[in-house]
């Protein structure tokens, strides 16, 4: 009985080896997706080029300007000498932000008046323009707050400036780098995108060629056939995961805080689940075209939309939140982020593990039953 | 019996031709909409602003319509090429990736880019995801189609042109990614990349539309 499974496995391995195109796509595309989404989805601002037009040239203006590079968000790249340079710097994209300090800046501060500074942001990259402006405003507000406190202290005022003081700490992603949560989420999405497709296409191709009929008349049992089909594709999916895990950690310097064995254990369950879904789809379709469309609609699209990878699930309407439980990517994204970012273990993630395991068993049982009907 | 076969073959053959015309229409309408928008918008800087920025300006619907028609046209082209090429992994993956890219174009059109000077929104995020995925998926598809052409008698002599145009698209995309990372003339680089992809689409659509009626078509 056991040997029949391995016969199917061996047959499938030989089929896979005969198809280098599919293997190439299976390797290339996940890496491409990881790299592109990991690098281009980030809205973080780091070392944004800053040009400064300091018309005041005082200790006060220097104190304000120095806060920008010290924040880590800006890199001072140019000192403007004349107003005419500003437009050219922004036009040529040499500065993402221009800070203009007027000539009377320090005098106004000394007189206790409100001094104004101007920021000009390059809005051509619209996704981060306002983030840049927001950081600049925060730095300037912080400076203004400090100046006001100093002045009150100089006048002997011992009362705090604000009655409530906030001490904020960000856990799990202290530098607030978006790639730290995008990449662990991508692991789940990529694994849901390609393995089901590979499996579906492989089985449906056999159906189109008619060779699957030989299986129907052979003494092999449905669960042996399904298991034999699952194992090689699950192995490919597992290797895919190892590949994107290494690439993700290496390219993006993601700190992996949790247990690697636990993560790999979750991966094993998840790859069987994704491959099982591919087999399930292939059991209800006969043409590659329909199989592709169904596979994309049932696996890739929901994994993007309803896994919490892009859109936080808690911000969705209640009905949609319940709907997300239908997709295994949701559980794996939670496990992945939990292990990679939070260093949590089974004591926290057991519901997600259990759900994923039950899901996988259910998919296997349904696929086997559908296959049994076909044999009958 | 012979007459029946002729009718059946004629039906199969006509579809790639129609799909080729659809591809031609989609790429032409999109290119036309871009030309129109460039001529009517003096406020858009060609070298810095992305073409998607047209969505948020005057006549934004022209861009959306052009891109949606382009997406449908590419879906048609993908189906047409699928019908016209021999079955196999190359055809299957090329069709799938080109179809996905076509869907990405439509999603990018229907979920507009965030307007300049506003904070990022979820709609803008969907646009970003769609555009990020579309270019590389289509590029891989172009090369796979070029390889598939080499295996089909009718398309074999077109494989070199297809491969050259695919390489031009790869260079265009690499240039765009470089300009994006360096934040230098990203708008211009995007237009050049788009033009290189459109060149392949228009050329292949034309080949499909012109010759599909007179040759044997794979089932």
Supply the DSSP symbol for B112. Answer: P
Contact A43, B121 (CB under 8 A): no
pLDDT of residue B191: 95
Q: How far is CA A247 from CA A254, B48, B129, in A?
A: 10, 32, 20
- Residue in B96, B122, B144 nearest the CB of A292: B96
B219 touches chain A (CB under 8 A): no
pLDDT of residue B5: 38
Mutate to test the interface with A, among B116, B140, B170 (most CBs of A within 10 A): B116
**A110 strand-pairing partners:** none
A and B: number of Cβ contacts within 8 A: 90
**Using the beta-carbon criterion (under 8 Å), do A201 and B92 form an inter-chain contact?**
yes
B59 touches chain A (CB under 8 A): no
Structure tokens at B170: 């790869």
Question: CA quadruple B108, B110, B111, B116: dihedral positive or negative?
Answer: positive
Mutate to test the interface with B, among A96, A127, A185 (most CBs of B within 10 A): A127
Q: Please provide the average confidence, as pLDDT, over all residues in chain A.
A: 86
Supply the DSSP symbol for A307. Answer: S
pLDDT for residue A284 is more than 70? yes
Would you list which residues of chain A are within 8 Å, Cβ to Cβ, of chain B? 19, 21-22, 25, 28-29, 32-33, 36-37, 40-41, 43, 49, 91-93, 96, 121, 123-131, 134, 197, 201, 205, 208, 288-289, 292, 296, 304, 310-311
Please indicate, yes or no, whether the overall pTM of this predicted structure exceeds 0.90.
no
Q: Which residues contact A336 (CB under 8 A, 6 or more apart)?
A: A184, A185, A187, A188, A263, A266
pLDDT of residue B36: 93
Q: How far is A276 from chain B (nearest CA, A)?
A: 21
pLDDT of residue A127: 61
**Helix or strand holding residue B42 (H, E):** none
pLDDT for residue A228 is more than 50? yes
- Residue in B89, B125, B186 nearest the CB of A21: B89
Q: What is the pLDDT along chain B (219 residues), one digit of tens a residue?
A: 333 334 444 444 457 888 999 999 999 999 999 999 999 987 778 888 889 888 888 888 999 999 999 999 999 999 999 989 888 888 989 999 999 999 999 999 999 888 876 777 778 888 988 988 899 999 999 999 999 999 888 888 889 999 999 999 999 999 998 888 777 788 899 999 999 999 999 999 999 988 655 444 444
In whole angstroms, give the CA distance from residue A291 to residue A302. 16
Structure tokens at A258: 């949790």
pLDDT for residue A124 is more than 80? no
In whole angstroms, give the CA distance from residue A42 to residue B172. 23
- Residue in B114, B126, B129 nearest the CB of A126: B114
Polymer length in residues for chain A: 376
In whole angstroms, give the CA distance from residue A143 to residue A155. 19
Share of chain A above pLDDT 70, in %: 95
Q: Which residues contact B89 (CB under 8 A, 6 or more apart)?
A: A19, A21, A22
pLDDT of residue B117: 66
Three-state DSSP state, A272 = helix
pLDDT of residue B142: 95
Nearest to A119 by CA among A84, A86, A147, A144: A86
Q: How far is A301 from chain B (nearest CA, A)?
A: 11
pLDDT of residue A375: 58
B46 touches chain A (CB under 8 A): no
Burial class (CB in 10 A: 0-12, 13-18, 19+), A174: exposed
- Average pLDDT value for residue range A340-355: 93
Give the range among A77-81, A157-161, A252-256 with minimum mean pLDDT: A157-161
Contact A213, A80 (CB under 8 A): no
In whole angstroms, give the CA distance from residue A277 to residue A271. 10
Question: How far separated are the first and last CA of chain B, in Å rounded?
Answer: 19
Q: Which of A18-22, A119-123, A236-240 has the highest mean pLDDT?
A: A236-240
Q: Which residues contact A32 (CB under 8 A, 6 or more apart)?
A: B136, B140
Give tens-digit pLDDT for A12-61: 888 888 888 888 888 888 998 888 888 777 767 778 889 999 998 999 89
Bridge pairing between strands A118-121 and A48-54: unpaired
More confident residue, A30 or A168: A30
Residue A20: closest CA among chain B residues belongs to which residue? B89
Supply the DSSP symbol for A256. Answer: -
pLDDT of residue B216: 46
pLDDT of residue B202: 96
**Helices first, then strands: H and E counts in chain B:** 6, 0
Residue B137: closest CA among chain A residues belongs to which residue? A29
Nearest to A355 by CA among A263, A275, A270: A270
CA A46 from chain centre, in angstroms, equals 18
Q: Which residues contact B194 (CB under 8 A, 6 or more apart)?
A: B34, B51, B172
pLDDT of residue A376: 57
- Average pLDDT value for residue range A309-319: 86
Question: CA quadruple B119, B125, B126, B128: dihedral positive or negative?
Answer: positive
- Average pLDDT value for residue range A336-351: 93
Measured N-to-C along each axis, helices A20-40 and B122-150 cross at an angle, to the nearest 10 degrees, of 150
pLDDT of residue B212: 54
CB neighbourhood size of A77 (10 A): 16
A contacts of B45 (beta carbons < 8 Å): 91, 124
């Amino acid at each position: 009985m056991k040997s029949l499974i391995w016969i199917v496995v061996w047959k499938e391995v030989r089929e896979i080896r005969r198809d280098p195109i599919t293997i190439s796509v299976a390797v290339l595309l996940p890496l491409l997706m990881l790299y592109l989404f990991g690098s281009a989805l980030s809205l973080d601002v780091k070392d944004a080029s800053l040009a400064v037009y300091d018309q005041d040239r005082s200790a006060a203006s220097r104190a304000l300007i120095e806060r920008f590079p010290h924040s880590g968000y800006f890199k001072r790249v140019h000192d403007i000498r004349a107003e005419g340079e500003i437009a050219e710097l922004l036009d040529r994209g040499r500065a993402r932000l221009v800070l203009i300090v007027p000539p009377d800046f320090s005098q106004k501060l000394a007189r206790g008046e409100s001094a104004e500074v101007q920021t000009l942001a390059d809005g051509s990259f619209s996704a981060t323009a306002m983030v840049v402006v927001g950081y600049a405003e925060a730095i300037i507000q912080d400076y203004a707050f400090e100046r006001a406190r100093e002045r009150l202290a100089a006048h002997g005022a011992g009362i705090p400036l604000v009655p409530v003081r906030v001490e904020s700490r960000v856990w799990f992603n202290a530098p607030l780098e978006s790639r730290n949560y995008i990449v662990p989420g991508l692991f789940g999405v990529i694994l849901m995108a390609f393995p089901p497709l590979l499996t579906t296409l492989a089985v449906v191709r056999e159906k189109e060629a008619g060779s699957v009929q030989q299986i129907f008349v052979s003494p092999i049992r449905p669960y042996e056939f399904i298991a034999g089909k699952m194992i090689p594709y699950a192995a490919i999916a597992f290797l895919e995961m190892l590949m994107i895990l290494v690439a993700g950690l290496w390219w993006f310097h993601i700190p992996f805080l949790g247990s690697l064995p636990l993560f790999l254990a979750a991966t094993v369950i998840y790859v069987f689940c994704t491959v099982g879904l591919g087999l399930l789809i292939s059991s209800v379709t006969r043409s590659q075209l329909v199989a592709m469309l169904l596979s994309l609609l049932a696996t890739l699209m929901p994994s993007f939309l309803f896994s919490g990878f892009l859109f936080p699930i808690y911000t969705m309407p209640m009905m949609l939140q319940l709907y997300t439980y239908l997709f295994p990517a949701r559980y794996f994204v939670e496990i992945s982020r939990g292990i990679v970012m939070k260093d949590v273990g089974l004591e926290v993630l057991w519901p997600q593990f259990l759900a994923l395991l039950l899901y996988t068993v259910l998919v296997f049982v349904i696929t086997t039953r559908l296959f049994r009907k076909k044999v009958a | 019996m012979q007459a029946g076969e002729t009718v059946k073959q004629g039906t199969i053959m006509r579809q790639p031709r129609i799909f080729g015309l659809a591809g031609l229409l989609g790429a032409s309408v999109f290119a036309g909409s871009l030309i129109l928008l460039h001529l009517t918008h003096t406020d858009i800087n060609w070298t810095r602003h992305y073409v998607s920025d047209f969505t948020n300006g005057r006549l934004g619907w022209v861009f959306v319509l052009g891109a949606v028609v382009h997406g449908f046209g590419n879906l048609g082209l993908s189906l047409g090429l699928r019908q016209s090429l021999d079955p196999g992994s190359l055809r299957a993956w090329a069709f799938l990736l080109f179809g996905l890219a076509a869907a990405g174009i439509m999603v990018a059109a229907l979920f507009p880019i965030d307007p300049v000077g506003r904070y990022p929104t979820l709609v803008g995020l969907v646009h970003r995801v769609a555009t990020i995925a579309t270019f590389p998926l289509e590029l891989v598809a172009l090369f796979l189609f070029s390889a598939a052409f080499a295996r089909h008698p009718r398309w074999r002599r077109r494989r070199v042109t297809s491969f050259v145009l695919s390489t031009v698209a790869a260079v265009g995309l690499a240039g765009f990614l470089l300009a994006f990372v360096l934040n230098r003339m990203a708008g211009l680089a995007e237009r050049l990349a788009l033009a290189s992809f459109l060149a392949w689409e228009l050329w292949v659509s034309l080949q499909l539309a012109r010759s599909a009626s007179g040759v044997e078509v794979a089932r």
